[in-house]
């Protein structure tokens, strides 16, 4: 059990709360009230597998950079608490779970499996050559929402693309906020990020615009999916939480970045899930 706790801490399993609710939102919007419990089961397996694989690979790929950064030097690989081969094995097991889920859903999820594996692996390398790394992360995690739709419906639809875009820009925006903590380190070690490239003030302003775009796309996704009152009530709460998140962080005060990163964003993801569920159940 102690070893299992180490592995869960290594992949920050609790951060699954950012993406998993949106995968369920995708399922619910595509289902139009028809609950297929097998789809929910395999979407859950796919998300656990994808998240575990992506984070394990991220820790493995970045562990030498993490060892140099005072903020991340205490992570498991730099401290030697977990071996590289154990981390790689976790990633392989995660991809096996993702593969098992894709094979048990529908032909389109099977066809898109190699694409998912590519993005889950590739995004960890992007900080080495482009400040757009935040968008690659958003695109990768945002695919969970479109994946939930495809798992249920077996095809793409305009609402799925809108939801994918919404989660992409939401993730990119809060990853930009998170990256402000490493501004000095990234500049001195040639790690690419939007704050390192354009400065903290510009990065915070960019994050605000990204989150405004994300909110508009959440509304558009609902409109295209034909939702009702409760979904829009959820988007209103999301908008208020995004405003709250940005009030926590200022160029001259980054002390509450972690609070904005975790607390506000967990409320956003779980609120979208709960209000979408209410909407589906009451229509």
pLDDT for res 222: 96
Report pTM: 0.93
* Residue 10 maps to a domain: no
Q: Dump pLDDT digits (tens) for 253-269.
A: 777 777 676 778 888 99
* Residue 140 maps to a domain: yes
Q: Which residues of 221-232 are buried (b: 16+ CB within 10 A; e: fewer)?
A: bbebbebeebbe
Residue 134 has pLDDT above 90, yes or no: yes
Candidate from 104-108, 122-126, 210-214, 251-255 with smallest mean pLDDT? 251-255
- CA distance linking residue 50 with residue 159, whole number of Å: 23
By residue range, what is the domain housing residue 81?
15-27+34-282
Residue 13 has pLDDT above 90, yes or no: no
Distances in Å between the Cα of 114 and the Cα atoms of 17, 40, 102, 117, 119 are: 24, 21, 10, 5, 9
| Beta-bridge partner residues of 223 | none
* Residue 4 maps to a domain: no
* Residue 5 maps to a domain: no
Residue 6 has pLDDT above 90, yes or no: no
* Residue 39 maps to a domain: yes
User: Residue with structure tokens 């032909």?
Assistant: 107
| Residue 259 DSSP class | I
Per the structure block, which two tokens stand in for 199?
Answer: 């400065």
Q: Which residues contact 256 (CB under 8 A, 6 or more apart)?
A: 248, 249
CATH number at residue 95: 1.10.357.140
* Residue 8 maps to a domain: no
Q: Dump pLDDT digits (tens) for 213-255.
A: 999 999 999 999 999 999 999 999 999 999 988 888 887 777 7
Give the chain's domain count.
1
* Residue 241 maps to a domain: yes
pLDDT for res 9: 79
Percent of the chain surpassing pLDDT 70: 98
- CA distance linking residue 273 with residue 276, whole number of Å: 5
- CA distance linking residue 233 with residue 163, whole number of Å: 16
pLDDT for res 3: 78
Q: Which residues contact 43 (CB under 8 A, 6 or more apart)?
A: 23, 24, 27, 101, 105, 147, 148, 151
pLDDT for res 173: 95
- CA distance linking residue 154 with residue 104, whole number of Å: 12
* Residue 165 maps to a domain: yes
User: Which pLDDT band holds residue 160 (cuts at 50, 70, 90)?
Assistant: very high
Residue 212 has pLDDT above 80, yes or no: yes
pLDDT for res 129: 95
3-state secondary structure of 250: strand
Q: Which residues contact 253 (CB under 8 A, 6 or more apart)?
A: none
């Amino acid at each position: 059990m102690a070893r299992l706790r180490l592995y869960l801490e290594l992949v920050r399993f609790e951060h699954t709360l950012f993406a998993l609710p949106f995968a369920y939102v995708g399922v619910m919007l595509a289902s139009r009230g028809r609950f297929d419990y097998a789809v929910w089961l395999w979407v859950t397996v796919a998300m656990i597998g994808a998240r575990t694989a992506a984070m394990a690979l991220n820790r493995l790929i970045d562990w030498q950079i993490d060892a140099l950064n005072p903020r991340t030097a205490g992570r498991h690989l730099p401290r030697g608490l977990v071996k590289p081969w154990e981390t790689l094995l976790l990633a392989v097991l995660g991809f096996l779970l993702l593969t098992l889920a894709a094979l048990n859903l529908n032909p389109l999820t099977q066809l898109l499996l190699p694409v998912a594996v590519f993005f889950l692996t590739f995004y960890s390398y992007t900080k080495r050559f482009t400040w757009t790394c935040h968008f690659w992360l958003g695109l990768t995690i945002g695919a969970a929402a479109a994946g939930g739709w495809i798992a249920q419906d077996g095809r793409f639809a305009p609402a799925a693309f809108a939801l994918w875009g919404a989660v992409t820009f939401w993730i990119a925006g809060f990853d930009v906020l998170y990256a402000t903590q490493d501004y000095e380190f990234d500049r001195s070690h040639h790690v690419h990020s939007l704050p390192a490239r354009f400065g903290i003030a510009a990065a915070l302003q960019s994050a605000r615009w990204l989150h405004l775009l994300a909110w508009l796309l959440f509304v558009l996704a609902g409109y295209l999916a034909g939702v009702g009152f409760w979904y829009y009530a959820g988007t209103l709460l999301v908008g208020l939480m995004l405003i709250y998140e940005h009030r926590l962080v200022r160029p001259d005060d980054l002390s509450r970045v972690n609070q904005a990163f975790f607390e506000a964003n967990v409320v956003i993801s779980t609120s979208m899930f709960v209000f979408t569920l209410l909407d589906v159940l009451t229509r």
